[in-house]
Structure 1
Amino acid sequence: MATIERGSYTPLYGRDSSQVAVDAFLLDTVPVTKAEYLAFVKDNPKWRKSNVKGLFADDNYLNAWQGDLQLNPNDKEDEPVTNVSWFAAKAYCKCQGKRLPTLDEWEYVAMADDNSPDARKKDSYNQYILSWYERPKDEHQQIGSTRKNYWGVYDMHGLVWEWTQDFNSVLISSESRNGGKNKNLFCSAAAVGATDLMNYAAFMRYAFRSSVKGNYTINNLGFRCAKDIEKKDSL
């Protein structure tokens, strides 16, 4: 895990948004892999494909797997796990003694590029993200295959979308079309509530998050875990 130092940032949402403080925390340097999630379901039968309840994961849950305990033969173990619901991702992190990152934590880390903790005003940074959003999903892209940012964290952009602990805390759109499918989950009318209308890349993430539900499983939505930094007792 990478240590993320305390700081602050101005979020996208709300016309009068002020700086949001983010305490220091730990974050996985890469998303959770298929091999890691397979080990989790082996130890936790309730999260196996045939056992999971619809309340916690829709019908697309692990839909490419060949049964409960076997990946698709074309998959590699170091690919990011996808088609995993928020409930399942939360349970996985808890079993590791971790948690999902908050939305603010994720956005705080995601605004960094290779050598700067906040690269949002750089054209190259935004163009990199938008060009990824425009590309079809690479079915077999491995973790750690994108840029390592200022914090030593890989794949914040360019691999898969990621769950956050409070993914639906900022409501941009009430629309949720096509169920668990990831197409058409955006509503441009919500842009009127954005702090910076030019930051379209960030807006896309907020719109996406507001369009999903906790039991949705999507083929380009994965996750990584975070952890609080234990504070030493004062003498």
Structure 2
Amino acid sequence: MIAAAVLVASPFVGALAGEGSYLPIPSGRFASALNYEDAPGKQPVAAYSMMRTPVTNAEYLAFVKANPKWQRGRAPTVMAEKRYLSHWVGPLELGDTAKPDQPVVQVSWFAADAYCAAQGARLPTWTEWEYAAAADETRRDARSDRIWRERILRWYSRPSNTALPRAGLQPANVYRVQDLHGLVWEWTEDFSSMLMDADNRNQGDADNARFCGAGALSMNDRDNYAVLMRVAMLSSLSAEATTANLGFRCVKDTP
């Protein structure tokens, strides 16, 4: 039986009620789809708590109001490229292209890391993200289910220039966490340790090259195309980079 949600009051005035809640993810043993030569097979994963949904525009707006150095136009360009929060109408105004309950995007790793730190939290490691994302509505590990995989892959066929749905619409997984698939890509704490090279393209949308990898990071499960795509995208980024469908969520260590 999954433990009841642990609701953590957000310190940011203006955050949406119900968002920012952290849900317990129990410890376990997990075999990553990635092949780590120094850690083959199933590895222990310590218990932690994860945000129910990605951070929303409303939550991030409250953060930048409380932390002016992270407002658009004030954040150093070495920590947030020029497209940082470019879809907002103004530094402190969302507008029609950034609804309050949509996940925040165009946020760099540095900015996401600062947001989590302000909550007494951190970004999840890749293993923590993959561990939680392996679950479906009834199973802790649904990765062997072809139908479940195909459901996830349908997201990747959605045009990237369509409006993002609001956070929290998708069915919750067995941990009651939502939107790990099918909404936005998400930063991880250790994204820079992923060793796939970006596909160097200069034509078209500036985001296109960031969703392909020319390298071949060793995979234990080469059929898990959704994981391969996500790793390729993350490995192509630098910490100051932002894209139109990359967001984040935070985790907290379990004492």
**Counterpart of 1:172?**
196
Separation in 2 of the partners of 1:97 and 1:189?
Answer: 35
Residue 83 (1) aligns with residue 109 (2): no
Residue 122 (1) aligns with residue 145 (2): yes
Residues 168/20 of structure 1: CA separation in 2 closer, same or farther (3 Å cut): farther
Residues 99/217 of structure 1: CA separation in 2 closer, same or farther (3 Å cut): same
Select between 7-16 and 196-205 the one with higher mean Cα deviation. Answer: 7-16
Conserved 8 A contact 1:4-1:24: yes
**Counterpart of 2:230?**
205
**Counterpart of 1:4?**
25
Q: How far off its partner does 1:178 sit? A: 5.3
* 3-state SS of paired residue (1:168): helix
User: What letter is aligned with 1:12?
Assistant: A
182, 193, 208: which one pairs with 1:183? 208
**Counterpart of 1:144?**
168
Q: How far off its partner does 1:74 sit? A: 4.1
* 3-state SS of paired residue (2:24): strand
Select between 34-43 and 74-83 the one with higher mean Cα deviation. Answer: 74-83
Separation in 2 of the partners of 1:18 and 1:182?
Answer: 34
- Structure 1 segments (4+ residues) deviating >3 Å: 174-181
Deviations 1:173-225 (A, max 9, x none): 2545559932133125516x211211111111111111111001111000011
* 3-state SS of paired residue (2:49): strand
* 3-state SS of paired residue (1:21): strand
User: What letter is aligned with 1:187?
Assistant: G
**Counterpart of 1:13?**
34
Which runs of no fewer than 5 residues in structure 2 stay unpaired? 1-21
Correspondence list, 1:157-168, <5 A: 157-168=181-192
User: What letter is aligned with 2:252?
Assistant: K
Separation in 2 of the partners of 1:177 and 1:70?
Answer: 33
- How big is the alpha-carbon RMSD for the aligned residues of Structure 1 and Structure 2? 1.8
Which runs of no fewer than 5 residues in structure 1 stay unpaired? 231-235
210, 216, 219: which one pairs with 1:194? 219
- Number of residue equivalences: 229
**Counterpart of 1:92?**
115
> TM-score, with normalisation over the residues of structure 2?
0.85
* 3-state SS of paired residue (2:113): helix
User: What letter is aligned with 2:190?
Assistant: D
* 3-state SS of paired residue (2:111): helix
